[in-house]
Structure 1
Amino acid sequence: MNHRHHPFFRLAMKTLVMLLCAGLLPLVHTGAPAQAAPVVGNQIRPLQINNQYVLFPGKLAPYIQEGKLMVPVRAFAGALGAQLTYDAATKSSTISLLGESVGKLRAGQATAVTRDGSTIALGVSPQLQDGVLFAPMNPILTGLKKLKWENMFNVLRRHVLIVQGRSDTVLPQAKSWQSVTPFGDVPGEHQNPFYPTLLTQSTDGKGFRLSLSVLNDSGFVIPKGASSLEFVAVNSQGQAVVRQLPGPSQATPKAGALSFTINVPTAPDYVIFNSRIK
């Protein structure tokens, strides 16, 4: 007997099809496991701290709110080399650096307080985005007093937001990594010829993959094999993973676009990116 023509079989198949179409039964496939969709952070006005590009990946990427650059408070404090403390009673954070502080940073509160008790108008209230506290950068740097910043244009007429110490003040941000990396103000080298435009972050279950898109900002063609790159991925515990890569194996034209990928074991709070031409 052919069971496919049995009335009960035909009824069962019809019921199964109806359930699948209605979405009441899961579809099963035996392909490779799905990869998590990349989280994209558009690096608007990338920061330069101690002459090094600092990027915030994924959901930590800065954004503009009412004309203010909003930065992730914890990661931004780490990138400066500042100390961040949290007061559970007031649900507020304090950033301390070089004897100065900006405190009472709290979601929905448009003011903060400096070390001497002065009140700062933030202009835009800090906001919680996917569990991350963002606050406007400029008033925080103003409250820390020993810092200054300026918005400059590079060769490509793209924004670069430079943060540095006033007078002879040196920010502590890079000190712990300088001893293990060869990058710095080396005579005869062209620093940071590659301008970062986009940083994406994804996970494959074993770690995190960071892909950085850049433009040749040097103003000239970079010969093949003449450049080198450095990534320093720093996690929320302050632990750093250093990745050094050779530059492109082909000549890079002026304003030419490139992308580079590295793998790191833990999600970074921020990424320091350096490049150079020998």
Structure 2
Amino acid sequence: MSFLSKHRNRKSIAALVAAASLTAMLPTAAFGAVQAAPTVQFQIGSLTAVNDNGPFTLVNAPYIEQGVAMVPVRALADGLEAKLEWDPAEKSIKLERSGLTVSLKAGDDSMVGTFVKNVKLPAKVAIVRGQAFVPAKSVAQLLGAGTTWEAKTKKVTIKINGEEAGVVSERYTFSPGEEGWQGGFADLPVDYDPSIYELLYARELLPLKDNGSNYGLKLNGMNRSDDLFMFATRKITGLKPNATYDAALAFTLYTDQAGGMMGVGGAPGEAVSIKAGFVSQEPKVVKEDEGGQVYYKVDVDKGNQSIEGTDMKIVGNMVKEDDGAEGFQPKPMSHATTLKANAAGELFVIIGSDSGYEGLTTLYLDDVSVTLTPRT
């Protein structure tokens, strides 16, 4: 049995538990809708490039350095729908797409990525008239993209890997619905009082000013049992059975908790660990006896509170980034690991809060991106 719920209110959850009829996760038929893979094309020596929005003009033309195609990193990021961060003081660059990250530095030939460290680039990152240029193929590969070279026309085409390469990449915005996600609760007594735990999992509008269209997944609970665990999970299908995948996850947490506050058991921000992971079997909530009292426990190794587990790692906490601003704020988080799909070609992604704060925690999850790249 599973304590995974698609119920919209506390009364539904209470009735479910009282009857000891715990709903199993519903199967999902597909891993999101098929979308065109982001693509960008450059031509050596040309100020015209092309992405999914059509031709556009570059400030400086791509060039060849030591036999390597060098392209402007800003245009590359835009074409692949990747986030770019530039630190002018350190002259460093960070790229992120669907949980995959690449870190670079101007004048340096080293690169750090989600699954690699201190990899040598075939050419150094260069600054050309105020623009950063990077080796196209090496950087694109760590963002989940493939590169083709046309020698005759001197064109380099960079495209996010699609199904033909066995890569699964999807983004969930929760605008059309829950998109196959389910919520659940663990680390609480089986005979708990629903009226004081205030458990709620639902798809709701994000609590932002003038927001009438941006939805997220809400998890709400009063920690009366010392370490309440609230989570959302989704099954991913269509993978190669028993194949090994590099799995990357990125999502936005919405929290209203300021840092440095006091609370029973710990601070409402720092003492609530946000954890994420991938597992090869469906996460289920089971009953376990602890010193004569029966508890609901999730059957993945998530660790406990500020301690990580084998299956789930700490990716942050509930402290919002701007303590001076009121209300809920977005907080980006990411996680990456490597694991095998099960015999049915499935994996499960799970995100949750592991609380040491003995009070009410309310959070929202939005803009979840998952990329699964098969190991070759």
TM-score (norm 2): 0.29
* Between structures 1 and 2, the one with greater helix share: 1
TM-score (norm 1): 0.38
Q: Larger Rg: 1 or 2? A: 1
